[in-house]
Amino acid sequence: MQTWCFRSVTPATTADLRATESVRQAYTLLRGTSEVTSAYVGPAGLPSCNAVAFRTILDSHHPGSAFESLLAHATLEGQIYALAGIYLTNPKSFAERAAPFLDMGYPVSTQRECFIKAESVSDLVGNITSGDWPRELKSMH
What H or E segment, with its residue span, contains residue 70? Answer: helix 63-73
Taking only the tens place, the pLDDT of each residue in 112-138 is: 999 999 999 999 999 999 999 999 999
The whole-angstrom separation of Cα 141 and Cα 126 is 24
Entry pTM = 0.87
Q: What percent of the chain has pLDDT over 90?
A: 82
Residue 28 pLDDT greater than 70, yes or no: yes
Strand partners, 47: 40
The whole-angstrom separation of Cα 49 and Cα 6 is 7
pLDDT at position 5 is: 56
- Domain ranges for the chain, please list them: 16-138
